[in-house]
Amino acid sequence: MSQIVIISGSPSAPSRTDLILKHVQSLEEKNGFTSEYVSVRDFSADILVNARYDSPEIEKLSQAILNADGVIIGSPVYKASYTGVLKSLIDLLPEGAFKNKPVLPIMVGGSMAHLLAIDYSLKPLIAILKGQPIQGLYFIDKQIDKTDENMPLKDEELIERLNNQLEQFEEAVHKEKHFRNR
């Protein structure tokens, strides 16, 4: 069984980003993955602002990522990039934290104007941590039904895109796991 870590960079609750990531988590668990869901809201401001690299919470997250076969990371778009609080959390992870791990980036924005935020902000962050980014998914706020936690996407084309990206992610996880176990 493969283990994944899902990281939410949304400082808001409730959050469309969390709705999508929780939906992705349920799909992946139905596909046989085990998962750990982590939100930036799980960490105190003291840890994030004062760069407490050695806090038990950061050490636990680092260990979970080290033990994971893949990572899914999501963020709302703020000022054409991922959130600052996500950056604060990522800065506390060890160098190369995502080394050789497939990483699926997911972003949620207010319009298509920020579609390239995945390519220009989140993927470079993944690369710095030595992860292997999958293409990624971008959703517009109005495409997400906040009233339906079980199925926040209604558009068939979006559902198909999500399923295709998850399939690519799963294949990459299985390949990397097979390669490591040889």
pLDDT digits (tens, 9 = 90+) for 132-143: 999 999 999 999
In degrees to the nearest 10, what's the CA dihedral of 93, 94, 100, 106? 10
Spatial contact of 40 and 85, defined as CB atoms under 8 Å apart: yes
Q: What three-state secondary structure class fits 133?
A: strand
Q: What number of residues does the chain have?
A: 182
Q: Is 31 exposed, middle or buried (0-12, 13-18, 19+ CB in 10 A)?
A: exposed
Domains of the chain, by residue range, sit at 3-180
Q: Which CATH class is domain 3-180?
A: alpha beta
Predicted confidence band of residue 177 (pLDDT cuts 50, 70, 90): confident
- Give the pTM: 0.95
Confidence check: pLDDT of 162 > 90: yes
